[in-house]
Amino acid sequence: EAQVTQNPRYLITVTGKKLTVTCSQNMNHEYMSWYRQDPGLGLRQIYYSMNVEVTDKGDVPEGYKVSRKEKRNFPLILESPSPNQTSLYFCASSSVGTHDREQYFGPGTRLTVT
Amino acid sequence: TQLLEQSPQFLSIQEGENLTVYCNSSSVFSSLQWYRQEPGEGPVLLVTVVTGGEVKKLKRLTFQFGDARKDSSLHITAAQPGDTGLYLCAGAHYQLIWGAGTKLIIKP
């Protein structure tokens, strides 16, 4: 089954404690991205990757890091989480070069930073 | 900064009624996508419209892309409780530009 998986689904942590949210896709997609979703603000892109070892900032990259060492994985790293990073996070993937670039989303990770 | 404005932000109606959700921008997009997101899940693509003036139908849902490819609408006929969810539009430019969404509740 074609899918994007994220772990963990829920995470409560404290300010300053480094964390990683994993993302993996099995569709051989070149393009992967991370979004955060906050009420009234919609989806805002954090980082994206066009292919292995190619990453770039989205609209709200501050406080986040990513890496793309393998095509299927795109982890999101919060080196020193702060309460304003409490949000619902989605990983997504798509094929590059298709006209519509349908995004396939993971189930989401709800992060709370206290 | 490109913006994609969705309206209304929230809509609660009775089962069987019709409704229209709008997605507007001052920017021209090469295509526009509509997604539905249910609680606890990620958005799922409903349709992509590509050509100005294009109309696509998905059962009781009708999607239209404006002639100038700056706006789109989603019309639902005879809404059902199963249509409840967050509807998101996304315009394709260099990157996808996302609207903030319309939260739709259909009451039985």
Residues A28-56: tens digit of each pLDDT: 999 999 999 998 888 999 999 999 999 99
Amino acid identity of residue A91, one-letter, is C
Both structure tokens of A7? 């772990």
Query: CA of A102, closest CA in chain B: separation in Å?
Result: 7
Task: State whether residue A84 is helix, strand or coil.
Answer: helix
Using alpha carbons, list the distances in angstroms from residue A49 to A37, A72, B83: 19, 11, 33
Contact A103 B43 (CB under 8 A): yes
Q: Cβ contacts (< 8 Å) between A58 and chain B: which residues? A: 95
> What spatial distance separates the first Cα and last Cα of chain A, rounded to whole Å?
36
Query: CA of B43, closest CA in chain A: separation in Å?
Result: 6
Mutation to test the B interface, candidates A31, A37, A43, most B Cβ within 10 Å: A43
d(CA A21, CA B24): 34
Task: State whether residue A60 is helix, strand or coil.
Answer: coil
Pair A79, A104: CB distance under 8 Å? no
pLDDT, tens digit only, all 114 positions of chain A: 889 999 999 999 999 999 999 999 999 999 999 999 998 888 999 999 999 999 999 999 999 999 999 999 999 999 999 999 999 999 999 987 654 588 999 999 999 999
Task: State whether residue A64 is helix, strand or coil.
Answer: coil
Contact B33 A102 (CB under 8 A): yes
d(CA B74, CA B68): 17
CB burial readout A2-27, b (16+ within 10 A) else e: eebebeeeebebeeeeebebebbbee
Mutation to test the A interface, candidates B51, B63, B98, B102, most A Cβ within 10 Å: B98
Contact B96 A40 (CB under 8 A): no
Both structure tokens of B84? 């409840």
Contact B31 A99 (CB under 8 A): yes
Mutation to test the A interface, candidates B3, B35, B49, B96, most A Cβ within 10 Å: B96
pLDDT tens by residue, B51-90: 999 999 999 999 999 999 999 999 999 999 999 999 999 9
d(CA A71, CA B52): 35
Query: CA of B31, closest CA in chain A: separation in Å?
Result: 7
How many of the other CB atoms lie within 10 Å of CB of A78? 21
Using alpha carbons, list the distances in angstroms from residue A43 to A39, A56, A98, A100, A107: 9, 17, 21, 18, 14
Confidence band, pLDDT 50/70/90 cuts, at residue B2: low
